[in-house]
Amino acid sequence: MDEQRAEFEAWANDAGFNINRQDNDNYLYSATRGAWEAWQAATQRQQERIAELLAVVIHARNVLPNEPWADDTRKMLDAAIARATHKEQT
C-alpha cells in the first residue's frame, strides 16, 4: 500500500470512517470515498506548493555571491534542499 493511502487510512480509521474496500480497491462507503478523493486533492496541491517553494530556495541558493559571508547561508539552503528532496523521494 502506498504511503499516502496508509496515512489516509490511519487518519480515516481514527476519525471513524469505515476503510473497508471492494475488490476493485474502491472504498465500500461513499463518505470514505469522498474523504479519500479530498485527501488526494489536498495532498496534490500541497506537493505543488512544496515544489514551487523548493524552486525559489534553489534559485536563492544559486544566486548567492561566491563570498565568504554567504557560506553559512549557502550551507543552510543546501541542508533545506537536501531535506526537501529527500522527503519528495520517499
SS3 21: strand
- Sequence ranges of the domains in the chain: 3-89
| pLDDT at residue number 67 | 87
**Mean pLDDT computed over 23-42:** 95
Are 84 and 54 spatial neighbours (Cβ–Cβ below 8 Å)?
yes
Residue 30, pLDDT above cutoff 60? yes
Task: Look up the pTM and report it.
Answer: 0.64
Residue 90, pLDDT above cutoff 70? no
**d(C-alpha 37, C-alpha 86), whole Å:** 26
Lowest mean pLDDT among 3-17, 32-46, 69-83: 69-83
| pLDDT at residue number 87 | 59
